[in-house]
Structure 1
Amino acid sequence: MSADIPAGGTWFDTLKKSFEDVPIDTANDNGIATTEFLEAAESLTSLFDVLGSAAFSPVKSDLTNNIKKVRERQLAAPGESQTLQALVLNELKTKKHVATEGLVWLVRGLEFTAKALRHNLDQGTELSDSFRDAYGKTLKQHHSFLIKPIFSAAMSATPYRKDFYAKLGSDDAKVKAALEREVAALEKRVEILQSFQSRKEAKW
């Protein structure tokens, strides 16, 4: 994994798309570009490979499956899916909600990831504490008693904080700055989508 990191760079330089690069159309209800958002979400799922435990594969596959649901709708109706908001509203007009529901779960998973990383950046605790804290505040309330133990196992399987940061790059200051930028960009887009999803017209 670290072999792909350019000299003097960080793991974030290897991503196909960063959340900072996902356009927000502020003049049009904060529309979030669908293609770039899905690419950034896909890029971020590889962070769970860096965490390096098979216990995280359910977390990653959950995100990947929901990305797939949204992308399938986008491919089926590209003209109506330029932004995520347009995709949802146009799908709901067809009396279906596969992608809409997929996006709800995708946003929940991304919120969980953002909260875990934000907690770790701000508190400096071990990753297991940060991920457990984030899980309790986000996904846990939506998960059944069958799913909770699977995710809880992942929270306990995180590497030591110092080892994780070392995998993201050799320069700790650069790693933290890059992580801060990515998390802040992710938080902003998650917040916009959650605000949209709370509206009556976005529900099924």
Structure 2
Amino acid sequence: MAPYLDTVTSFADVPITDAGVDTLAFLKASEGVVGLFDHLGSTAFGVVQSDLKGNIAKVRARYDETPTLSNTLEKLVENEKGEKKRKATEGLLWLLRGLSFTCKALQNAQANASEELAAAFAKAYDVTLKGFHNFVVKGIFSVAMKACPYRADFFNKLKADPAGGPPASDEHVAECLNKWLIGLDGIVTRLQTFYKAGGHDKGF
């Protein structure tokens, strides 16, 4: 087997055409984020994983109902627009918010090698999810971020081969993670712009 980032779909590999972001590839890459939180080793992040899973399920359910109208995320949202309950549109919006939080946290960690994950995630939370959360949820996230593992432990887990083989090099993990984050950041920015331009985020 290979290190974690070599075993999941990278956001850098999610197809993007004039019609939009490929729905199934995006969902598969998003599932990789859920697994990434296992490497943070804290049950406190269970609330984040649960939220991501729930929103992935809402988008996938819509795709399964109307695959030809939902093969890109943009088409999925546009084709749900006239319906009373836009479950997939809301689910995707919250999924993007959670992905933005994760992306910015890891970008912080990559940009500052001396910064511990707790600080990197706290900074990311302030500029992504905090404004959408009430007092109770803010408290849950505060606990989760304080429970982040040490930076070295997290990156050692990313390097490890689950099959017991030699770990990947720091350079390899950094390269994979940077490509993953650039792809993720591009997709999140694209979709958030799409939501605002079309007024798809209203009511959520």
- By the TM > 0.5 criterion, same fold? yes
Query: Are 1:63 and 1:109, in contact at CA under 8 Å, matched by a contact in 2?
Result: yes
1:14 aligns with 2:13: no
2:201, 2:33 → 1: CA distance?
27
2:128, 2:95 → 1: CA distance?
12
1:141, 1:44 → 2: CA distance?
22
Give the residue type in structure 2 aligned to 1:104.
L
1:168 equivalent in structure 2: 158
- 1:33-48 counterparts in 2 under 5 A? 33-48=22-37
- 1:1-204 counterparts in 2 under 5 A? 5-6=1-2, 10-15=3-8, 17-25=9-17, 27-28=18-19, 31-124=20-113, 125-169=115-159, 170=167, 171-204=169-202
Partner SS for 2:126: helix
Partner SS for 1:194: helix
Query: Are 2:44 and 2:144, in contact at CA under 8 Å, matched by a contact in 1?
Result: yes
CA shift, 1:95, in A, is 2.9
Query: Are 2:103 and 2:184, in contact at CA under 8 Å, matched by a contact in 1?
Result: yes
Tell me how many residue pairs correspond in the alignment. 193
Query: Are 2:90 and 2:201, in contact at CA under 8 Å, matched by a contact in 1?
Result: no
Q: TM-score, normalised by structure 1?
A: 0.91
Paired-residue identity, %: 46
1:127, 1:79 → 2: CA distance?
41
Query: Are 2:59 and 2:89, in contact at CA under 8 Å, matched by a contact in 1?
Result: yes
Query: Are 1:89 and 1:201, in contact at CA under 8 Å, matched by a contact in 2?
Result: no
2:77, 2:130 → 1: CA distance?
25
1:90, 1:45 → 2: CA distance?
27
Which ranges of structure 1 fall in alignment gaps of 5 or more residues? none
CA shift, 1:201, in A, is 4.7
Q: Which has the higher contact order (CA 8 A, sep 6+)?
A: 2
Query: Are 2:118 and 2:146, in contact at CA under 8 Å, matched by a contact in 1?
Result: yes
Give the residue type in structure 2 aligned to 1:173.
E
Which ranges of structure 2 fall in alignment gaps of 5 or more residues? 160-166
**C-alpha spacing 1:146/1:182, structure 2 compared with 1 (3 Å):** same
Q: Deviations over 1:14-48 (max 9, x none)?
A: 21x221121100x33xx001011011001121010
CA shift, 1:89, in A, is 0.8
Partner SS for 1:198: helix
Moved more, 131-140 or 170-179: 170-179
